[in-house]
Structure 1
Amino acid sequence: MCNAGIELSLIGIGTGNPEHLTLEAVRALNALDLILIPNKGSGKDDLAGLRQAICADVIPAPGPKIVEFDLPLRDPAIKDYKARVDHWHDAIAQVWIETIRSHLPEGSARVGFLVWGDPSLYDSTMRIAERLKSKQEIALKVIPGITSIQALTAAHAIPLNEIGAPFIVTTGRQLRENGWPDSADTVVIMLDGECSFQAIDPTGVEIWWSAYAGMENQISVSGPLAEVTAEIIETRAQARADHGWIMDIYLLRRS
């Protein structure tokens, strides 16, 4: 049974490379009583395993208690995208609180989640954590981490934007449905499972693409979009088949 109040830390861990952890993140991990690691199911076991490896690398024994838990699936019967995600987040929050109550050692209060990349960027961990406040007294702390955008630009040794020019970070869904945003010539695309760069006119567009950015098995392809589209699609499909999962990100720039 856990305390009335819980200190919940969301700790950005970069993109799976233990060397991406900041000193602040290492200190925060070592101060916890309980670490929760989501298991996304068959084919994505590596993601839980990488979090376990990171903990083993930076936390001396005996360390905090580490518990893996199964994430609920999105309900395909809910057709509206935002409603489906909202329902899913409610279900995840319920699993979180049940797992915390079951596994937090008596007299302890410090719980942590290892968040891929940074909790601020296209990650819903903070939104889910806010739901917990209606179920339990929660004090929330966020430790920033290296983002996949930083890992992408480092992999290709390029700046994120042109001199004095804006850029936009958006999703594959937005690129497919709404096309190139009007307000920037540089666009970073995340959360794209469908190679949505195929939906735009490739004329005058350069792409810098990376999968597993920052990790040992990082793959990178760049060049004129019209020339490297097929290579990226084939490379991505093969990498996903090899690993059972893929995380990729890319930057598009119009000349």
Structure 2
Amino acid sequence: MSQPRLKQRLSQSNQCFGVFSSISDAVAIEQLALAGYDFIIFDLEHTLHSLKDVEIALLAARAAELDVLVRIPQGRYDLIAPLLDAGASGIVCAMVETPEQAQLLVERCYYAPLGMRGLNSTRLNSYATKDLAKSMIEANKQTVVVAMIETQLGVENALQIASTLGVDAVLEGAADLSQSLGVAWQTQHPSVRAAVTQIAQACEHAQSRFMAIPRTTEAVAQWQQSGVTNFVLGDDRSIMRNAHKAHIAQFKKELEQ
């Protein structure tokens, strides 16, 4: 029996582990799939990737049966349709601050009746070789919509954002949140931790899923005790750098003995 798709796994509170992907290379995507991640978030906010880079990543992930969410910059709703048409499993929208922004995100990600995503012959419906109406229904059942809260205003509106029909999950952004709260890069500052906890509590109240970005294994354990089951475990560039550092350090240590 095949594993449920990401949207169903999120709704069933199954444990999911993801990672930010900032390297636009098919082999890099394959390695993330082989490592065992449940999903990746391909980043368009802090990279210079072209849409052609994204398409290559999506095709590589499709071959590896890996779910791909694409993070778009704040307000770039125009990117949503082509990304989903190309095969993205869903969208992560940066800097969602108001329920109106959350609603606009939903409208761009879903077909009617939940949204007004544009109709076309795309990879999604095998270029019109599948029943188009059925393809719309299936897309609405599978598309994952994630709002990222990274500012004080977003925290204040967290309950309304998480309650927006069509938002599957809310992802915390402690780094940018720390800047918004006046303690830049102090992601463990009490005010930042309190704000992230407030987001998580808003999700619980709204019966939406919360995605944490733990920076230690201890943090994962603490979140699990609170019932959180969805985690984004850093960025592939940092993970690769740290792996190389540990690799060469091991050999240097052996040679020094």
Q: Give the TM-score range, shorter chain.
A: 0.3 to 0.5
Of structures 1 and 2, the larger Rg is shown by: 1
* More helix, by proportion: 2
Taking structure 2 as the reference length, the TM-score comes to 0.32
Q: Which has the higher contact order (CA 8 A, sep 6+)?
A: 1
